[in-house]
Chain A
Amino acid sequence: MSNKFQTYLSTTTHAAPLAVFRFLFGLLMSISIIRFWYNGWIEKLYLLPDFHFKYFGFSWIKVPPDIWCYVLFIICGLAAFLFAIGFKYKIAILIFFISFTYIELMDKTTYLNHYYFVSVISFILIFLPANKYFSIDAFKNPSLAIQYIPKWNVDALKIMLIIVYVYAGLAKLNYDWMVNAMPLAIWLPSKVDTPFIGSLMSQKWMPHFFSWGGAIYDLTIPFFLLFKKTRVFAFVAVLFFHLTTSILFPIGMFPYIMIAATMIFFSAKFHNQILEKIASIFKIGKTHFDNGVHLIHTQNRKSQIAFKILAVVLIFQVLLPLRSFAYPGNIYWTEQGYRFSWRVMLMEKTGYANFKIVDQKTGKRFYVQNEDFLTQFQQKQMSTQADFIIEYAHYLGNHFTSQGHQNVGVYVESYASLNGRKSQLYINPEIDLMTLKNNFNHRYYILPLNE
C-alpha cells in the first residue's frame, strides 16, 4: 500500500461531525417510526392485507401477527432513539438496522429509495465509532471517549452521499426527463392550489425548469458541498431543493433526512457549535468529551476490519446500479434493475391488470376482482411492475386450485401508461403466468414500449 494512502488512513479528524450525524439521523428515524404509526400505516400496509409481495429470495420474511407487528415497530423506534443519544450504541444500531430492514422486507409494495437509503446508512453506522463522542456511552465510561477519529470514518458517509446524488442525477439524463420534462409536466399542473407557489406551477416553463434544475442539482451538489468556499451556497441549495420537493410531493421524511445527512460535509467547527448548543440546552458539559484522545487507525484492529467491510460496501454501492445495463429495453417500462439505484421521482406510471383464470382443458374462464385480494395501494403497485404481476398470478393460481378449480392457467390483460404516453399492453396476454418464475433473467414477456 502506498505511503500516501497509509498517511490518509492514519489521519484523524474531530469526532463532532459523526456525533451530530448519529444524533440527527437517529432522531429523524424515531420520528419516522412514530409518524408511520400515527398515520395508521402499520395496520394499513402490513396488518390489513391478506397477501404481501416479497423480494426475491426473501419470501421467508413474514409480517408478525397483530400486536407483535407493533412490538417490532416499537423496538425499531426505540433502537433509533437509543443510538441517537449514543446509549449502548453498538447493540442499538445493530437492532435498528435489523428491525428496520426486516420491516422493509415484509412487503416490497412499500419500497422507497429512501427506506433503502436508511438501511444502507444504518449498516455503515454499525462499523463506525459514532458513540465515542458526545454520547451516553462515552459520558458514563470516559475511558471509551475519543475526541479524534480516523478521517475515513466521516469520508465513508460522504462517499455514500456522493454515490446517491450522482446516480440520482445520472438517472435524470434521459429523454423523458430532459426533453419532455416528464413526469414533472404531469405532476406540477395538479399543484395549482398550493398556497403562494401554486400559480407558478401551471406555467409552461416550470416542468423544464424543475427537470433541468433537479438534474444539475443532483450531479453537482456533493462537489459544491465538498469545498469550503461553495459550501454555504450549496447548503442553501440543499434546503431550497429538498423543502420544495417536500411541499410539492408526498415524499414524507426523505427531504429532512437528506438535509440532515448533507450536514456531514460541514466543518468540525460547525458541528462543534451545534453540539455546544445542545450541551447548553441539556446542561451537559461538552468539554467532558474533549479529552484529546486520537483513534489511530493503523494501531486499531477493529478500525482496520471496519475499513475493509465498508470498502466492500461502497464498491458494491457503486456497482449495483450498473446492473440495469445488462437488460434490454426501456428501464422505466421494464423496471429490470430499477430498484436500489437511486432512481427517485423519475417516472409516472399507471397501470391496470385484469387477471383471467382459465381451465386449460375445458377453456372455461372467469376474471378476478383484484380488490378481493389486494389493497388499493397494492393494486396500484402490482399493475405496473412485472415481478409483482408474476407473484400475484401464482398466488391467484394456487388460491383457485385450492378452491377446487382444475388445470388452472392464469393470464393477464394488463395496460400501463408511462410518463404521459397513451396506455398500451404491458405483459404478453397469451402467456400462462403460472409457467413463469421471478428471477434475474430478462423478462421477455414484457411487451416492448411503443414510443
Chain B
Amino acid sequence: MKLTKLNFFLGVLLVGLFVTSCNDKDDDPTTSVDNFNRSEMLSFWADDIIIPAYESFDGTLDNFVEAKDAFANDQSIDHLENLKATWLISYKSWQNVAMFDIGKAEEINFLYSMNIFPADVDLIEENISNGDYNLTLPSNMDAQGFPAIEYLLFGMDDSIVPLDLLSEPNRIAYISDLVDRMKSLNSEVLNDWKTNFRNTFVENNGSSATASTDKMINDFLFHFEKHFRAGKIGIPAGVFSGSELSSLAEAPYSGKSKELFFASFDAIQNFFTGLSFDKSTTGLSLQQYLSNIAQTNESQDISIAILQQWESATTSAQHLMDNFKDQVEQDNSKMLNTYDEIQKSVVLLKVDMMQALNIQVDYVDADGD
C-alpha cells in the first residue's frame, strides 16, 4: 500500500495514542535515578509508620477491651482506675493514626466513630436508658468513641462518678459495646492495610490528585488544619465563633487535653520528618522531599521554616494548662497565642509546601492555574 499522507498521519497518531494510553497503567514502579522516589517514600510511610501505628493502637485497644471486661465482671475501684488508664493510653495512641484518613479508614468513616467531640451527653443517656441503640448509624456518631467513654468514666463535673452509677448493667453494657466497636473497627482498618491496601497504596505512585502521595498530603493537611489546629485549639478558643467555647475542648472531663494535643503534634511532626514509628530509623519524608527540591532548584528549603514554626508552637503550647477547657476559661489569650503560632505554619504548609511538591488538590482539568 502506498504511504499516503493520511496513512502516515494515522500511523503517527496511533503511535502517539499508544504511548499516551500506556501512561495510564503504572507498570514501571522502580525508576531509581538520583532523584526523589515517590514509591520509596510511600512504602516507608506504609511499612514503617502507618501499619506499625495501627498495630500499636490495636495493642492498646486489646488492653482496653481486657480492662472493660474486668470491670464488667467486678466493679472494683482498681478495675475502674485501670479502665481509665487504658482509656488514656488508647486515646493517646489513637492520635498516631488519626491523620491517615485514607483507604478503609476513609471508607468506613473511622475517624467519625472514634473521636467526635464534644460527646452528645443527652443521646448517650438516652441510649443507655433505652438499652436499644445502633452504633453504626451516623446519628450515633457523637454518642461513641473516646469522648463518649470519657464522659461515662469521668462525668461532667469535678466530682467523681459514683461507682454505684457506673455499675448499672445498662451502663456497663454500653461502655462494653463502645470499646468492642472501637476494637473491631480498628481491626478492620488494620487488616485491610495488611492484606490489600498496602500494595495499592504503594503502587499508586503517580502525581495526579488521586495518586497516593497527593492524597496522603491532602489528608495530612486536612487533619492538621481541621482536627489539630481547629479541633484541639481554635474552636474551643473561639477563633471561629467570636466567643469562647470552652466546653468544646478535647477531653474536658478528664482534663487530658494537653497530653492528647502533644501526642497528636508528635505524630504529625514524626510523619513530616519521616521518623519511623518505633523511632529506630528515618526514611524518605516530606521534609526530605522539600530539601531535595530546594537543592535541585537552588531555592530556599521550606521544611526548615516549617520545623522552626512548629518549635514556636510547641513552646507556646507548653505554657497551657493540662485541661484546655480551664485554660480557655481562665486565660484564653494563651490559647489564642498557640493558635497563632500553629496558624503561621499553615501558610507554609498550604502555600509553599503544596507548590514546591506540586500537589494536586482535586482531579479537574487545568491549564496552569
Contacts and interface: CB of A to CB of B under 8 A. Distances in A.
A371 B205 CA distance: 27
A76 B228 CA distance: 45
Interface residues of B, number: 67
A243 B16 contact: yes
A351 B351 contact: yes
Interface string A403-441: 000000000000111001011000000000000000000
Interface in B198-213: 205-209
Contact of B38 (A192, A350, A423): A192
Contacts of B362: 375-377, 380
B23 A194 contact: yes
Contacts of A247: 19-20, 23
A165 interface: no
A235 B6 CA distance: 12
Nearest to B34: A202
B361 interface: yes
A419 to B, nearest CB: 8
9 contacts: A189-B293, A190-B357, A270-B9, A273-B4, A344-B368, A347-B369, A359-B242, A376-B362, A420-B355
B5 interface: yes
A277 interface: yes
Interface of B: 4-6, 8-9, 12-13, 16-17, 19-20, 22-23, 26-29, 31, 33-39, 205-209, 218, 226, 230, 234, 238-242, 293, 296-297, 299-300, 302, 343, 346-348, 350-352, 354-358, 360-369
A270 B5 contact: yes
B367 A254 contact: yes
Contacts of B352: 350, 417, 422-423
A194 B24 CA distance: 9
A186 interface: yes
A191 interface: yes
Chain A residues touching B, range: 35 or more
A435 B11 CA distance: 60
Interface string A187-214: 1011111111011001010000000000
Given A198-B28, A364-B242, A250 B366 contact: yes
B104 to A, nearest CB: 22
Contacts of A189: 35-36, 293, 296, 358
A142 interface: no
The winner among B13, B20, B302, B369 for most chain A CB atoms within 10 A is: B369
Contact of A250 (B208, B239, B354): B208
A195 B369 contact: no
A269 B5 CA distance: 10
Interface stretch (A53-61, A107-115, A310-318): A107-115
